[in-house]
Structure 1
């Protein structure tokens, strides 16, 4: 990790475009060379970030996905900025469109095709032992080559074996809590979506309770 002082930080972000910020300051910037800089703030004095720094987790998760053949960002460098109490990771973004923004712009039959492919992709992710707590359609990318990939990877964990049924179901609860994403999946139908997931998954789910909770009229 490179430790940089305040002047070095200002030089790095000179001319950058801020694309995400919160009340504490900038969170994600596009640098002049087109790479992204994602900043992390330690929220508590005693924090898990001391044992598992978020910038290192991001870097490790990118490497883990690449090893498993899942398209993802490519990390370039990690930084520490003591003067502003931030750490950061610089990375090349994954080219493509998020499914959340791309699907609504497509013709109805194409939307259904994309949702069918999404069900198979999530099954593959789970079979590879990937538990992505931030799973939602804003973090799933359709690349120019037609592959599906993942972004915003700080909340991702990998396991040496395929996910258990309990973890798979928990991961779907994270996805289905997003109203925009749930509305899109409902165009295909939750029952059909899970049928396709089970067809492609090594460990199929009994999804009746999920369907009853999120699509009661069709349970």
Structure 2
């Protein structure tokens, strides 16, 4: 991967719009050309992050999802921002759509209509042996063609064996915790679980 200069990064940050950030700095930036910059602030030891760059893992997961027929962002380039600290990034073309969290907040009735298809989508992911621990309403998008797509899937992996009951339960527990943090009261989680169990 090439190393992005400090001037190039500064240009992106100055001309773009920060969409997501944390205490360590910007994480997602909308660039003026319509593409997005994603910055991976590693929590690993720098030497480990250099061996397994987060940007490359993100790119591999995007390709895997596409191979499985699941919509995901198209990665244009991956690069180093600070190799010494294991800081990597990528430029990608964002998926057109809105997060299910926004659908639920703006129009609960519309979301309830989508609930059976959401259960089917999660079941499909699990059936493809995709374990996406951080699966929640913020990283599932409703696309213009009414399909679902995934974003922010760095921690996703594909198991060699089918997902076990503990992994499936953990997936839904993470969703429950997410709903609590976001104070999305009244979410039909039990109904979603019931619909999931009814899938074949």
TM-score (norm 1): 0.81
Q: Please give the alpha-carbon distance, in whole angstroms, between the structure 2 residues aligned to 1:197 and 1:67.
A: 23
Stretches of structure 1 that go unaligned for 5 or more consecutive residues are 202-219
Shift of 1:27: 1.4
Larger radius of gyration between Structure 1 and Structure 2: 1
| Contact 2:50 2:83 (8 Å CA) reproduced | no
**SS in structure 2 opposite 1:195?**
helix
Q: Please give the alpha-carbon distance, in whole angstroms, between the structure 2 residues aligned to 1:184 and 1:62.
A: 32
Matched, 1:193 2:192: yes
Shift of 1:49: 2.2
Matched, 1:54 2:54: yes
Q: Please give the alpha-carbon distance, in whole angstroms, between the structure 1 residues aligned to 2:142 and 2:186.
A: 16
| Contact 1:6 1:84 (8 Å CA) reproduced | no
Q: Please give the alpha-carbon distance, in whole angstroms, between the structure 2 residues aligned to 1:53 and 1:120.
A: 32
Residues 75-109 of structure 1: per-residue CA shift (max 9 Å, x gap) = 1101112389531011111110101001232262x
Shift of 1:114: 1.3
Q: Any residues of structure 2 matched to 1:66-77 within 5 Å, and which?
A: 66-77=66-77
Q: Identify the range of structure 1 (150-159 vs 173-182) with the bigger mean alpha-carbon deviation.
A: 173-182
Matched, 1:104 2:114: no
Stretches of structure 2 that go unaligned for 5 or more consecutive residues are none
Q: Please give the alpha-carbon distance, in whole angstroms, between the structure 1 residues aligned to 2:8 and 2:108.
A: 48
Q: Please give the alpha-carbon distance, in whole angstroms, between the structure 1 residues aligned to 2:47 and 2:115.
A: 38
Residues 25-70 of structure 1: per-residue CA shift (max 9 Å, x gap) = 2211111111111112234545642332211110000001000011
| Contact 2:19 2:30 (8 Å CA) reproduced | yes
RMSD: 2.2
Q: Please give the alpha-carbon distance, in whole angstroms, between the structure 2 residues aligned to 1:53 and 1:5.
A: 18
TM-score (norm 2): 0.88
**Number of matched pairs:** 197
Q: Please give the alpha-carbon distance, in whole angstroms, between the structure 1 residues aligned to 2:157 and 2:99.
A: 21
Q: Please give the alpha-carbon distance, in whole angstroms, between the structure 1 residues aligned to 2:31 and 2:84.
A: 18
